[in-house]
Structure 1
Amino acid sequence: NKYRVLKKVVAVEKGITFLELFEEYVIDKKKSIRPTTFKNKYLMALNFLRQNTVVGNIEIDVEEPEYVDKIIQSLKCKFSEETALAIFVQFQAFITWAIKLKKIKKLRINPLTSLKSEIKPNKRKKNDDYKTLSFSADERDEILNAIATSDKPFVRHYYNYYSFLFYTGCRPSEAIAVVWDDIIGDYEFIRFNKAITDSVDGLKELEGLKTQDYRLFPINNQVKDIFIKQKEYQPNNLKNRVFTTQRGKIIETRTLRSRVWQPILSNLKIDYKKPYSTRHTFITLSLEAGMDVKDVTKLVGNSPITTYKHYASTDIRQIQVPNL
């Protein structure tokens, strides 16, 4: 029929998807957070959206969103309830960010708000007493002796490094970033002012510390002895770092944990605790030796509240009220 009417096909423009906007959110957040936080927190949520097209392809900017249940069920199927809840909270913050910055216009109220109860994590008793994560002084000495007397040169190489962790209470990320120029005077102070962390792009050195720009640590005879021995032993390295691998490279703490730390504890039949427990051990033993909480917090860079809460707790039944 020559008078046939041609129908015009109108393409419906698809709105921005959950994944597309979340990728923009992650790029924005990456500028202001530490690499470790980005890797452990944001990247997990991003990878979930990339793998789960059901959620990733959701059109996010709609007036009456019906995708909330779909998100919750997908998270529950993929992760443990604790991990699912952590990612769900991340999505809540993401949508709030999108609304606040007007990245989406139709959606005025965050549909994920007040729905955390839909994902109920297992109620496990959280261990807030960090003293239980510490080694005793005897265990500390056993560990260091086992490293020092190991028949493997690779293990013995890290004796000074682990001694430094135990006797300063610094974070492993801070220890591997220390350079000889950070030692002030004739072994009077250490200036902790940077950290090396694991990021999606590999190891990365960051200026400043987790909770402060820098802190000074007074060097006692134990720590001075560590530095003197390390000065004699340390292989050459371009960055003048105090603690490195046998080849003068940056220490990768994960590799060290599996090749040195875990085997040593296993052979000694000491209950496994992470290398970070060297920090807990220093704090606990310092308090038990009679140091004031405020002084200990200055040495390790914690807040007094954190130290009181996790290390200086006292059974109320043991407190005696003085006559005033």
Structure 2
Amino acid sequence: MPDQYHWVLRNPFKTITKHLPSKQRTRNNKVFRFAEWKKFLANAPEFYRPHLEFLIMTGLSASELAGIRREDVSERAITLQRSIVLGQEKERLKNDYRFRRIPMTGAIKRVIDRIREQCSGSPHPLPMEDGTPFDGNSFRKVVWNKALKASQIAEKTPYSTRHTFCAWALTIGMNPMKQVSLMGHSSKQMVYQNYGQYVEDLEDDVEDILRYFGRDFLIKPEKKLSPLLAYGDSYGDSRSQIQINY
């Protein structure tokens, strides 16, 4: 019919691509690079630096940190069995997998000892500066947002410490099943789906992360470190042994 009457019909799909969003790969800003983390930490209020390090070394969320009581912290582990959300204590965690034990590494113990020294009079293991229980909302306003602005790094939230914990652990070669347990998830698929996005050049930070987390983050002190980790064979051409803090 159009040919018979010599109609010129406009193709309705001709310009549709002009209105489609461009398929540009966005950078993963949820995860700290190591130097970026140190810069952020240096710009945080001194009192709260151990709290920030505790978050990134354990992968806990702010609500889980708030739920920790003194009796949950032992020489061997930190037991997660409750959280505090919007000021309300939840005796049951999000799911059964969130009930877990975080092994006490040397680095985590040093952080906890620093917190105890600076707030020895508080009955709470990780309190706010005035001695009251940890408050995620106040922490974000008083600590996180100020450090973020002062350090002038890409936008991140306190939950970025959990994303960073996962990305760093994957990068330095943690046993995937151990990582699933530490994150409080049911499967590797859940962890990789939520936190497994590749971070460009993060493998360049392997030695710094290993030293920061400590040897006992990956294996028990009495065990031997895998040669792949000890000599860096999995991460490039480096053959010099990595010195890791105990």
2:153 counterpart letter in structure 1? I
Which of the numbers 32, 43, 48 marks the counterpart of 1:135?
Answer: 32
How far apart are 1:162 and its partner, in Å?
Answer: 0.9
How far apart are 1:209 and its partner, in Å?
Answer: 1.9
**Which stretch of structure 1 is more off in the superposition, 272-281 or 226-235?**
226-235
1:268 counterpart letter in structure 2? S
1:305 counterpart letter in structure 2? Q
Which of the numbers 76, 82, 88 marks the counterpart of 1:188?
Answer: 76
| Structure 2 residue aligned with 1:219 | 104
Alpha-carbon distance between aligned partners in 2 of 1:281 and 1:226, rounded to the nearest angstrom: 18
Q: Give deviations 1:123-182, integer Å, cap 9, x for gaps.
A: 989xxx9954111122112222222xxxxxxx2221111110011110100112212211
2:62 counterpart letter in structure 1? P
| Structure 2 residue aligned with 1:322 | none
Determine if contact 1:215/1:301 at 8 Å carries over to the other structure.
Answer: yes
1:234 counterpart letter in structure 2? C
Which of the numbers 187, 196, 205 marks the counterpart of 2:89?
Answer: 205
Determine if contact 1:144/1:162 at 8 Å carries over to the other structure.
Answer: yes
Alpha-carbon distance between aligned partners in 2 of 1:209 and 1:177, rounded to the nearest angstrom: 10
Alpha-carbon distance between aligned partners in 2 of 1:312 and 1:246, rounded to the nearest angstrom: 34
1:297 counterpart letter in structure 2? V
Determine if contact 1:166/1:281 at 8 Å carries over to the other structure.
Answer: yes
Higher relative contact order (CA 8 A, sep 6+): 2
Determine if contact 1:134/1:280 at 8 Å carries over to the other structure.
Answer: yes
Which of the numbers 136, 145, 155 marks the counterpart of 2:42?
Answer: 145
How far apart are 1:235 and its partner, in Å?
Answer: 4.5
How far apart are 1:208 and its partner, in Å?
Answer: 2.8
Alpha-carbon distance between aligned partners in 2 of 1:284 and 1:298, rounded to the nearest angstrom: 15
Alpha-carbon distance between aligned partners in 1 of 2:32 and 2:147, rounded to the nearest angstrom: 14
Aligned alpha-carbon RMSD (Å):
2.7
1:244 counterpart letter in structure 2? P
| Structure 2 residue aligned with 1:270 | 153
| Structure 2 residue aligned with 1:258 | 141
Q: Give deviations 1:218-273, integer Å, cap 9, x for gaps.
A: 11111010111112222423xx3211122211232222212221121111110111
How far apart are 1:295 and its partner, in Å?
Answer: 1.2
Alpha-carbon distance between aligned partners in 2 of 1:144 and 1:308, rounded to the nearest angstrom: 27
Task: Within 5 Å, give how 1:1-324 maps onto structure 2.
Answer: 132-147=29-44, 155-184=45-74, 187-198=75-86, 203-212=87-96, 214-237=99-122, 240-303=123-186, 304-312=188-196
Q: Give deviations 1:80-124, integer Å, cap 9, x for gaps.
A: xxxxxxxxxxxxxxxxxxxxxxxxxxxxxxxxxxxxxxxxxxx98
2:94 counterpart letter in structure 1? K
TM-score, with length taken from structure 1: 0.50
Give the 3-state SS of the residue equivalent to 2:43 in structure 1.
Answer: helix
Structure 2 residue ranges without an equivalent (≥5): 1-19, 199-246
Alpha-carbon distance between aligned partners in 2 of 1:273 and 1:229, rounded to the nearest angstrom: 25
How far apart are 1:308 and its partner, in Å?
Answer: 2.3
2:143 counterpart letter in structure 1? V
Alpha-carbon distance between aligned partners in 2 of 1:294 and 1:161, rounded to the nearest angstrom: 26
Alpha-carbon distance between aligned partners in 2 of 1:165 and 1:286, rounded to the nearest angstrom: 14
TM-score, with length taken from structure 2: 0.65
2:55 counterpart letter in structure 1? L
- Bigger Rg over Cα: 1
Determine if contact 2:28/2:197 at 8 Å carries over to the other structure.
Answer: no
Alpha-carbon distance between aligned partners in 1 of 2:189 and 2:157, rounded to the nearest angstrom: 23
